[in-house]
Protein backbone atom coordinates (compact mmCIF):
# COMPACT_ATOMS: atom_id res chain seq x y z
CA UNK A 1 0.00 0.00 0.00
CA UNK A 2 1.07 3.53 -0.56
CA UNK A 3 1.36 6.25 2.01
CA UNK A 4 -2.05 7.95 2.36
CA UNK A 5 -1.72 11.70 2.03
CA UNK A 6 -4.11 14.50 2.73
CA UNK A 7 -5.68 15.27 -0.69
CA UNK A 8 -5.03 19.00 -0.20
CA UNK A 9 -1.36 18.39 0.60
CA UNK A 10 -1.04 16.20 -2.48
CA UNK A 11 -2.70 18.87 -4.65
CA UNK A 12 -0.36 21.55 -3.24
CA UNK A 13 2.69 19.34 -3.82
CA UNK A 14 1.68 18.82 -7.44
CA UNK A 15 1.04 22.53 -7.88
CA UNK A 16 4.51 23.30 -6.50
CA UNK A 17 6.08 20.76 -8.87
CA UNK A 18 4.24 22.36 -11.78
CA UNK A 19 5.29 25.86 -10.69
CA UNK A 20 8.95 24.72 -10.39
CA UNK A 21 8.88 23.26 -13.87
CA UNK A 22 7.50 26.52 -15.30
CA UNK A 23 9.65 28.83 -13.20
CA UNK A 24 12.55 27.44 -11.15
CA UNK A 25 12.43 30.54 -8.92
CA UNK A 26 9.07 29.23 -7.62
CA UNK A 27 10.84 26.34 -5.86
CA UNK A 28 10.51 28.01 -2.48
CA UNK A 29 6.94 29.26 -3.04
CA UNK A 30 4.59 28.84 -0.10
CA UNK A 31 0.94 29.92 0.12
CA UNK A 32 1.60 31.14 3.68
CA UNK A 33 3.48 34.07 2.16
CA UNK A 34 0.19 35.42 0.86
CA UNK A 35 -1.05 35.92 4.42
CA UNK A 36 1.39 38.77 4.94
CA UNK A 37 -0.11 40.51 1.92
CA UNK A 38 -3.67 40.27 3.28
CA UNK A 39 -4.26 43.37 5.41
CA UNK A 40 -5.92 43.20 8.80
CA UNK A 41 -9.16 45.14 8.62
CA UNK A 42 -9.59 47.95 11.14
CA UNK A 43 -12.11 47.20 13.89
CA UNK A 44 -14.53 49.87 12.65
CA UNK A 45 -14.63 48.31 9.19
CA UNK A 46 -15.19 44.85 10.69
CA UNK A 47 -18.08 46.21 12.76
CA UNK A 48 -19.57 47.70 9.60
CA UNK A 49 -19.14 44.52 7.55
CA UNK A 50 -19.50 41.76 10.16
CA UNK A 51 -20.71 43.46 13.31
CA UNK A 52 -23.80 45.13 14.63
CA UNK A 53 -23.60 48.37 12.61
CA UNK A 54 -26.81 47.55 10.73
CA UNK A 55 -28.55 45.48 13.41
CA UNK A 56 -27.85 47.31 16.68
CA UNK A 57 -29.02 44.32 18.74
CA UNK A 58 -26.97 41.84 16.70
CA UNK A 59 -23.64 40.23 17.39
CA UNK A 60 -20.54 42.38 17.35
CA UNK A 61 -17.56 41.60 15.10
CA UNK A 62 -15.52 40.07 17.94
CA UNK A 63 -18.26 37.57 18.77
CA UNK A 64 -18.80 36.70 15.11
CA UNK A 65 -15.08 36.09 14.64
CA UNK A 66 -14.91 33.88 17.76
CA UNK A 67 -17.81 31.87 16.32
CA UNK A 68 -15.90 31.61 13.04
CA UNK A 69 -12.83 30.30 14.89
CA UNK A 70 -15.07 27.70 16.56
CA UNK A 71 -16.50 26.68 13.18
CA UNK A 72 -13.06 26.40 11.59
CA UNK A 73 -11.97 24.23 14.54
CA UNK A 74 -15.05 22.06 14.06
CA UNK A 75 -13.96 21.46 10.47
CA UNK A 76 -10.77 19.95 11.83
CA UNK A 77 -8.71 23.16 11.62
CA UNK A 78 -7.65 22.08 8.13
CA UNK A 79 -7.79 25.57 6.63
CA UNK A 80 -4.53 26.88 8.08
CA UNK A 81 -4.65 30.27 6.38
CA UNK A 82 -8.26 30.90 7.33
CA UNK A 83 -7.66 30.00 10.97
CA UNK A 84 -4.62 32.28 11.21
CA UNK A 85 -6.35 35.18 9.43
CA UNK A 86 -9.48 34.85 11.57
CA UNK A 87 -7.41 34.82 14.77
CA UNK A 88 -5.57 37.93 13.59
CA UNK A 89 -8.85 39.68 12.80
CA UNK A 90 -10.42 38.58 16.10
CA UNK A 91 -7.51 40.13 18.00
CA UNK A 92 -7.98 43.35 16.02
CA UNK A 93 -11.72 43.28 16.81
CA UNK A 94 -10.92 43.24 20.53
CA UNK A 95 -10.77 39.54 21.41
CA UNK A 96 -8.32 38.65 24.16
CA UNK A 97 -5.87 35.82 23.61
CA UNK A 98 -7.53 33.93 26.46
CA UNK A 99 -10.95 34.22 24.76
CA UNK A 100 -9.52 32.72 21.57
CA UNK A 101 -7.88 29.87 23.49
CA UNK A 102 -11.14 29.18 25.37
CA UNK A 103 -13.16 29.25 22.15
CA UNK A 104 -10.87 26.67 20.57
CA UNK A 105 -10.73 24.61 23.78
CA UNK A 106 -14.51 24.48 23.97
CA UNK A 107 -14.56 22.83 20.55
CA UNK A 108 -12.55 19.85 21.82
CA UNK A 109 -15.82 18.41 23.14
CA UNK A 110 -17.34 18.52 19.66
CA UNK A 111 -14.48 18.39 17.16
CA UNK A 112 -12.06 16.23 19.14
CA UNK A 113 -8.64 16.76 20.65
CA UNK A 114 -6.68 16.58 17.35
CA UNK A 115 -8.75 19.39 15.79
CA UNK A 116 -8.45 21.48 18.94
CA UNK A 117 -4.68 20.90 19.11
CA UNK A 118 -4.19 21.88 15.46
CA UNK A 119 -6.31 25.02 15.85
CA UNK A 120 -4.37 26.00 18.99
CA UNK A 121 -1.07 25.53 17.14
CA UNK A 122 -2.25 27.81 14.33
CA UNK A 123 -3.61 30.39 16.78
CA UNK A 124 -0.34 30.34 18.75
CA UNK A 125 1.57 31.16 15.56
CA UNK A 126 -0.46 34.36 15.23
CA UNK A 127 -0.65 35.24 18.90
CA UNK A 128 3.11 34.81 19.23
CA UNK A 129 3.57 37.52 16.62
CA UNK A 130 1.22 39.97 18.38
CA UNK A 131 2.36 42.12 21.30
CA UNK A 132 1.22 41.03 24.73
CA UNK A 133 -1.07 44.04 25.17
CA UNK A 134 -3.94 41.97 23.75
CA UNK A 135 -3.60 39.19 26.35
**Domain ranges within the chain, ordered by starting residue:** 1-30, 32-134
For residues 70 and 63, the answer to whether their CB atoms sit within 8 Å is no
pLDDT at 91 over 50: yes
pLDDT at 4 over 50: yes
CATH number of 32-134: 1.20.1290.10
Q: How confident is the model at residue 78 (pLDDT cuts 50, 70, 90)?
A: confident
Amino acid sequence: MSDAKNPFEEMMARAQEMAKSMNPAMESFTPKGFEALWPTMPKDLMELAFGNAVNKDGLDAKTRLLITIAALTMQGAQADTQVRLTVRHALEAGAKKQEIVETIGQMSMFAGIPAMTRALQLAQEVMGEIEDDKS
